[in-house]
Amino acid sequence: MNVQKCILRSCSIINSTSLFRGIKYFPPPVKFPDYEIPEKPKLKYVDKVPPLPPSIRPPKMQKRLRLMRGPETVHNSLMYQQYGVMALSGGRLKYSHMEMLRLNIGRKMDPSRMFAIWRIDPPWQPLTRKGQGQRMGGGKGAIDEYVTPIKAGRIIMELAGKCEYLEVKGILEDLAKKMPFKAIAVSQDVLDRMQRKEEEDERNNLNRYTMKYLI
């Protein structure tokens, strides 16, 4: 009898534990920032030519390569602390590049819970070009197009709202590959990690002749 009681007791214990064997733990849902979706959540249309009064002749400009040289020191962080596209090197953005960005992000984003903003100015720097086959001399050529100079570390556009990074990472990486210079998709966590790595490298640098010292 005692043997039978032990067998029945062990069977009851096995049955009671088997009920809890398949229970899985699901993490709580992500709490998104309480941002108000603007009335027009998609990227705004940019002008191909900067608006000037009709009485003013469009001024010409030198190349000003310093506008693309060095790191960006102002617009290098995310305003909404979510996601965006960041330039890794200097370059120029044309109207066609901005229009490509605007159309692609407008097709792929969900405007009911996401919104996108520009972090760069519309094309404003004039580039001149002479006609093919013209001789040297004769003054500066006519204005061919307008561009926006970009420095390394500049945030080009931001995407925010009720969405996770894995949800929009593919969209932003696809846009970054289409830029005329090196660019990557970033989130606030990625930027924090990059900043911590720079601080750690600077702290653990044993060479006293740093780049700052050389400059």
Q: For the chain, which domains are there?
A: 32-129+141-202 (3.90.1170.10)
Question: In this predicted structure, what is the pLDDT of residue 47?
Answer: 95
Q: Cα(first)–Cα(last) distance of the chain, in Å? A: 91
Question: In this predicted structure, what is the pLDDT of residue 30?
Answer: 79
Instruction: Please provide the average confidence, as pLDDT, over all residues in the chain.
Output: 89
Q: For strands 114-118 and 91-94, give the pairing.
A: unpaired
Lowest mean pLDDT among 15-19, 56-60, 188-192, 209-213: 15-19
Model confidence at 24, pLDDT cuts 50, 70, 90, reads confident
* 159, HSE (Cβ side, Cα atoms, 13 Å): 31
Model confidence at 2, pLDDT cuts 50, 70, 90, reads low
Model confidence at 89, pLDDT cuts 50, 70, 90, reads very high
Q: Is the pLDDT of residue 64 over 70?
A: yes
Residue range 120-173, pLDDT digits in tens: 999 999 999 998 888 889 899 999 999 999 999 999 999 999 999 999 999 999
pTM above 0.85, yes or no: no
Residue range 32-44, pLDDT digits in tens: 888 888 899 999 9
Residue range 176-194, pLDDT digits in tens: 999 999 999 999 999 999 9
Residue range 98-110, pLDDT digits in tens: 999 999 999 999 9
- 94's CB contacts (< 8 A; 6+ apart) are 123, 145, 147, 180
Alpha-helical regions (H) of the chain: 2-18, 95-108, 165-177, 188-203, 211-214
Q: What is the mean pLDDT of residues 196-212?
A: 89
Question: In this predicted structure, what is the pLDDT of residue 15?
Answer: 52
Residue 168 DSSP one-character state: H
